[in-house]
Structures are given as structure tokens and as C-alpha cells.
Amino acid sequence: MQDTKNYGPKRLVVGAHYGTMDFIAQRLTAVVLAAYTLVLIIGLLLMPAFDYANWKALFTFHVYALPLGQILASLAFIALAWHAWIGVRDVWMDYVRPVGLRMTLQVLTVLWLLGTVVYFAQIIWRI
């Protein structure tokens, strides 16, 4: 009789083995997003009046000659896209069994996320 035990040291391990690095990346991007959210909330609370000029200043402030507001916003948005990619990719890998459909969904997800990052960059660096 064949041993069909699928646990312990003789278990059958399948998948892409992303594991630890994606776990760490997911947590790091979540920390970046949480920190940036706190910065935005503090900025909104300290804003003297809620108008376009102050809203724009929240994203375009400079420290010396460095456009820190735009850099921080860009880093936060890239972290958001990376966080979304890891999560959505895992959903496709776990729940979509036909390989062709899964690959198509993954490619469409990457294209969509890259498109949003490019669109965001055009917006934030033009103001």
C-alpha cells in the first residue's frame, strides 16, 4: 500500500514558493501605507482651511529643494500597487485553476497596476 500521507516531512509541496519574501513585502508595504496615511491625516488636521491651495500644498511641499511631498506620495502609491499585486496574484494563484486563464488575469492585473502608477505619476508630478 502506498503511503499517501500529505503532511510532515514527506508532504507534497507545490506552488511557486513565493512565501517569505512576499510575506515580508506585504507587511512592509502595509507599514509604508499606514505611515503615509497618518501623515495625510495629520496634514489634514493641521490644514488651516480645506481649499485647493492647501490641498495642493499637502502633496507638493518642499524641504530645501527636494519635492518631498511628491516623493512621499509616489513611494506610497508604488507601495500600494506592489501590495495590491501580491494580494491579487495570490488570489489568482489560489482560485483560478486553468493555467491560461490565470496567466491572462495576471498579465491584465500587471498592466492595470502599471497603468495606474504611470497615471498617478503624471498627475502628482504635474501639480
Predicted confidence (pLDDT) per residue in 30-83, tens digit: 999 999 999 999 999 999 999 999 999 999 999 999 999 999 999 999 999 999
Q: How far apart are the first and last CA of the chain?
A: 71
CATH of 20-125, one of 1.20.1300.10, 3.40.50.720, 3.40.190.10, 3.40.140.10: 1.20.1300.10
- Cα distances from 116 to residues 22, 31, 41, 103, in angstroms, run 21, 21, 23, 20
Contact 26, 62 (CB under 8 A): no
Strand partners, 66: 63
Q: Is 17 annotated as a binding residue?
A: no
pTM of the shown model: 0.82
* Residue where the block lists cell 491625516: 41
d(CA 80, CA 39): 15
Q: Is 64 annotated as a binding residue?
A: no
